Chain A
Amino acid sequence: MKNLKTLLAGTVAALALAIGPAHAERGTDGDLKILFWQAVSTMNPFLSAGTKEMLASSIVIEPLARTDEKGELVPWLATEIPTVENGGVAKDLLSMTWKLKPDVKWSDGTAFTAEDVIFTWKYCTAPDGGCAQRAQYEGVKNVEAVDPHTVKITFEEPKPYPYSAFVGGQSPIIQAAQFKDCLGTKAPGCTAANFGPIGTGAFMVTDFKPNDVVTFKANPNYRDAAKPAFASITLKGGGDAASAARAVLETGEYDYAWNAQVEPEVLETMMASGKGRLEISFGTQVERINLNWTNPDPALGPKRSTAEAGPHPALKDPAVRRALSLAIDRDIIVEAGYGKSGKPTCNIVPAPEAVASTKNDSWCLKADVEGANKLLDDAGWVKGGDGIRAKDGVKLNFLYSTSTNSVRQATQELVKSMWAEIGVGAELRNASASVFFGGDPASPDTFQKFYADVLMYTNNFDGTDPEKYLAEWLCDKMPGPSNGWQGQNIPRYCNPEFDKLVGTLSKTAELEKRAELAKQLNDMLTEEGAHIPLVHRGDQSSFAVTLEGIKMNSWDSQVWNIADWHRKK
């Protein structure tokens, strides 16, 4: 907690610097034109957990605290971050108290109070509401008002890391007065409220066309009289990532295009016209190849890729798992598919810095084809006439599946050629993202089913604390018929020692110790070969050169500080 405090102090200082010379007043910089290549469907992030909805709504509605671009918590609608040291978090870790800023007003002029915070919790936890952000309130027993500007949250059991409810773009506060008749099953019926939530943010919605365009104007009741610099925002949606980047970087029609997921060389040519720039920030996304620890043989019928199928005939050998990782040259993959928005990594928890391990970098970051070949030779895997290694009738020929996406298919090809050098064959396959990630238990192509030997995709965790994320590799989280294929332990990794260590993490409150445990868990997964981490992926967006004040943030909404954005004078 000590760490947190010093970090907070630093942030406050940084903020003070950022404000710098007072530039102009509210609404002097005209219209800010934003382009999202995936259009916004609703302005209520509780009804849709999509990133685009979270981003758009974060322009209007705000949480009590945010995570800044450095991954540090900053108070937003609260006066300070509650900690054990300042008495905000109870010593027994069973409750925490937030003090709200006293003079915050909703955009309709009414006061923002503790009742709104309590209502937000009730709204998202109402039965049958299908609130998409339900997980943010996990373990919350009660939320109550101590006085109109103090909120107390009590937890069902001690919560070592309590910053999830009301923290970050996923968990903003909505106005009780506007949503009071929209609880539970009535939520979808409140179309006007869902499309135009009243907020405390720098802007308010003036018009919403679902899946098309949203317009905003500066909130006249915003708490800082000098902000925002822009008078209005037009947020257009639709199209594809490349043409969205082109509209900012090449034609200059837009000021900001979210998520420039485009091949690096294409972006280079667009940038040549000098109208825009790219900003990159790194969060916790890691592109990885999961190795199947169970047997996916189709002959096993419904048992395939479950614990009952037994271990994978080839991948059960630790030498094979290690060799597959050694053979991969991560630098080439980054250069070809990600450019500046990717870094080679051997961690599944790549950030924040405090929990990012460097233990395995020495052997794993650089490709070592010779070492991999030797490892397989020593383990008794012998090359056959077709160049593919085999042992006891088991061939090192893997079915390699991923979602449909041009960068992923290019990566598949690269990895296939790298594995060919150590005598490992790969059959490439891809499935449409909506099917692959769709989780339909009837489909054989979902990533949960894992009807393949190796599987590639990206995952990450919200916020800066990896505890919940690391718990995904617990033995009982394996997807299978018994849980409707809903587990998150995709590699079907199972290690009682790992389970025990996760248990320790969930009971540890000290930040340094938590970081140490998280590193240990992360190292265990890489060393044992539950998966092969490939690329630490950053978020990349394009901005017009005339736009200033942006602080790209992967920990919270990318537009978290939109009140500070302004036009270069």
Chain B
Amino acid sequence: MFTYTLRRLFFAIPTLLVISFVIFALLDLAPNDPTGDLPLTIPPEVREQIRASLGLDQPFLIRYMKWLQQFFINEPINIFESLTGWQFGDGERMRVLSWATRSPVVDLIVQRLPQTLWVVGLAYLFGILIAIPIGVISAYKQYSIFDQIGTFVSMVGYSVPTFFTGVLLIVIFSSYLQWFPSVYDTNLRVTDFASFMAQMKQMVLPVAVLALYNASQITRFVRASMLDNLHQDYVRTARAKGVKEKAVLLVHVLRNSLIPVVTVIALGVPTIFSGAIITEQIFRVNGLGQLLITAVQGADMPLVQTLTFIFAVLIVLFNLIADVLYGILDPRIRYD
């Protein structure tokens, strides 16, 4: 297992390099321009100077090499320096700079991470916590009223887009009932009970929207996996031996059913980091998803490139984690 993991990690390096090149090339080919958003009153010669100051006048390969150097050498050294307090050289090295804000991309990402992890991460966690019991009961009482309702709700949750549920919740709970705010305050610091309640309140709507969506997906997996196992021979054996129904269900069937579910959950973790672009935009959570979409709209290439590449790293990494977890949880699976 260990050599397998090492081998996979080793193969990830060329994969990621190819991915980074493909992203860079795609962004370069896209007919987008960082001066496109500026008022038309800015004359063309000034636009040309702005492009030159962003380094856009250099050839494609040089820009790609520069990005590689900035991202793989300069940024890690910077992180190392800020962690240890040591300094290498004069500390003056070119970092990956966003074109829109002209500030280091990594700083922007670090600033955005907490909101995204709180809102999107919590929604994922709630989604899982809701999905598992519903999935279990739905499968155990297949075709019962509970199962029918569960199936209906998850179909609705899965097929109704978040830009609809989000606005619907705002209209009901912010405009009409005025219970929760419609705009997320990223400056709120939790210092006492009142600010804690304010934080909870502003998280309710976005978390609810995303949790519904996540739960709908996972419930279906849990239900299907439970149904597979309920008809296995070992279940009949356990019942024949007189094992209590509760133990059959929660100890034998659930444990085995969760093996594929765990991998599905692990594969979904990178989507937490990539944020929920639409939901973040609706509630103005301004996390990583909103950062990515504003960067795309403003043709902020370094930011888009760096963010998408980090997502690529996470996806490759969690694919590996899912595979390894599968091996650990299911003794029948061996990679070596």
Contacts and interface: CB of A to CB of B under 8 A. Distances in A.
Given A191-B104, A211-B100, A442 B49 contact: no
B276 to A, nearest CB: 14
Contacts of B98: 210
Nearest to A214: B187
A14 B121 CA distance: 55
Interface stretch (A48-56, A83-91, A106-114, A342-350): A48-56
B182 interface: yes
Interface residues of A, number: 64
B35 A42 contact: no
Contacts of A236: 183, 185, 284
Interface string B106-126: 011001100000000000000
A131 B47 CA distance: 9
A488 B41 contact: no
A525 to B, nearest CB: 16
Given A213-B187, A488-B44, A434 B33 contact: yes
Interface stretch (A71-79, A155-163, A243-251, A305-313): A243-251
B175 interface: yes
A210 B108 contact: yes
A234 interface: yes
A487 B175 contact: no
A209 B32 contact: no
A239 B282 contact: yes
Given A253-B181, A435-B36, A135 B101 contact: no
Interface in A459-491: 459-462, 483, 486-488
A191 B98 CA distance: 11
Question: Which size class do B's interface residues fall under?
Answer: 35 or more
B178 interface: yes
B48 to A, nearest CB: 7
A130 B53 contact: yes
Interface string B179-214: 001110111000000000000000000000000000
B39 interface: yes
B185 to A, nearest CB: 8
Interface in A128-151: 128-135
A132 B101 contact: no
A29 interface: no
A551 to B, nearest CB: 22
A210 B101 CA distance: 7
Contacts, number: 174
Given A211-B294, A459-B40, A128 B182 contact: no
Contacts of A48: 38, 100, 102
B286 A132 contact: no
A35 B183 contact: yes
A302 interface: no
A94 to B, nearest CB: 23
Interface centre among A129, A209, A210, A488 (most CB of B within 10 A): A210
Contacts of B36: 433-440
A437 B104 CA distance: 26
B293 to A, nearest CB: 10
Interface in A420-470: 433-440, 442-443, 445-446, 459-462
A188 B97 contact: yes
Interface string B85-109: 0000000000001101111100110
B105 to A, nearest CB: 10
Given A251-B174, A439-B35, A132 B46 contact: yes
A65 B308 CA distance: 44
A328 B53 CA distance: 44
Contacts of B37: 50, 433-434, 437
B52 interface: yes
B271 to A, nearest CB: 20
B40 A437 contact: yes
A215 B187 CA distance: 9
A203 interface: no
A39 interface: yes
A517 interface: no
Interface string A537-557: 000000000000000000000
24 contacts: A44-B102, A48-B38, A129-B53, A130-B53, A131-B49, A133-B46, A191-B103, A210-B111, A211-B108, A211-B286, A212-B286, A213-B286, A238-B294, A246-B182, A247-B183, A435-B33, A435-B36, A438-B31, A439-B36, A440-B31, A442-B31, A445-B31, A459-B40, A462-B41
